[in-house]
């Protein structure tokens, strides 16, 4: 692939957006490669994914303005749909995804980070939805995910003003989970990914599914989703081994994802 670099490290993997000269900006070709890269991940082996950007300046600086400038209404809607389909695929990806935000995360870059389960930021990271300054709305889920993460009032403020915020403010408003010095960001993400990967994969995937699907329905329906996923863990090897290890006061030998 031209714009994506994939590295598997045992039970977790790192996917890097690699278009550094353009600050890793999203164009149609890069979006398609991201889609293909997700399809190629071996979910039997990989239990957690880290998504980051090449270099130290930018996670993803946004969508490619040069490509978007001359789009018609129909083409603009189609481009938004393409991005939304892929970001939704990432959001509902079976395994947890950690965004290691190593710089600019603006427009489509902020939307990409918000499509991940967790966001760890370098101290030089910058977040924002500046689209109104370009004469457009956020188009890859920004109006929806930002409000869900930071609340409607703060989301409207950031989107209406087009103002960008630094990593410390992003942490304060709940947009990111933690902030690290640039050189510590990827090691911290890898440590977290390895920790997640050590847990029972069926259970972790069930937790992700329960949270994602439960937040979109009323509480009574959400509880039913949880009950079914909870029940589905029983009679698995991982459930039997995990509980046996607890009762026998020993460490789990290995979760087998079955």
- Residues classed as catalytic: 111, 131
SS3 category, 126: strand
CA angle 158, 81, 100 (to 5 degrees): 55
Label residues 65-87 b or e (16+ Cβ within 10 Å = b). Answer: eeebeeeeeeeeeebbebbbebb
| Nearest Cα residue to 190 out of 16, 49, 59, 90 | 49
Burial of 216 (0-12, 13-18, 19+ CB in 10 A): exposed
């Amino acid at each position: 692939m031209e714009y994506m670099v994939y590295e598997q490290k045992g039970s977790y993997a790192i996917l890097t957006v690699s278009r550094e000269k353009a600050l890793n900006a999203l164009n149609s070709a890069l979006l398609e490669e991201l889609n293909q890269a997700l399809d190629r991940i071996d979910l039997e082996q990989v239990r957690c994914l880290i998504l980051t950007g090449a270099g130290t300046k930018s996670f993803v600086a946004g969508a490619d303005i040069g490509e978007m400038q001359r789009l018609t209404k129909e083409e603009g809607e189609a481009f938004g749909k393409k991005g939304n389909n892929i970001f939704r695929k990432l959001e509902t990806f079976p395994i947890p995804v950690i965004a290691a935000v190593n710089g600019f995360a603006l427009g489509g870059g902020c939307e990409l980070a918000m499509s991940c389960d967790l966001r760890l930021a370098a101290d030089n990271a910058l977040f924002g939805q500046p689209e109104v300054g370009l004469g457009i709305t956020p188009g890859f889920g920004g109006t929806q995910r930002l409000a869900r993460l930071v609340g409607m009032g703060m989301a409207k403020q950031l989107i209406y003003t087009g103002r960008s915020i630094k990593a410390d403010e992003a942490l304060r408003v709940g947009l990111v989970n933690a902030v690290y010095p640039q050189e510590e960001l990827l090691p911290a993400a890898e440590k977290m990914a390895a920790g997640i990967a050590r847990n029972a994969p069926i259970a972790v995937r069930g937790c992700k599914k329960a949270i994602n699907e439960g937040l979109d329905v009323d509480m009574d329906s959400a509880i039913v989703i949880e009950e079914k996923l909870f029940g589905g863990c029983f009679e698995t090897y991982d459930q039997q081994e995990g509980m046996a290890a607890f009762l026998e006061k020993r460490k789990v030998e290995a979760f087998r994802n079955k």
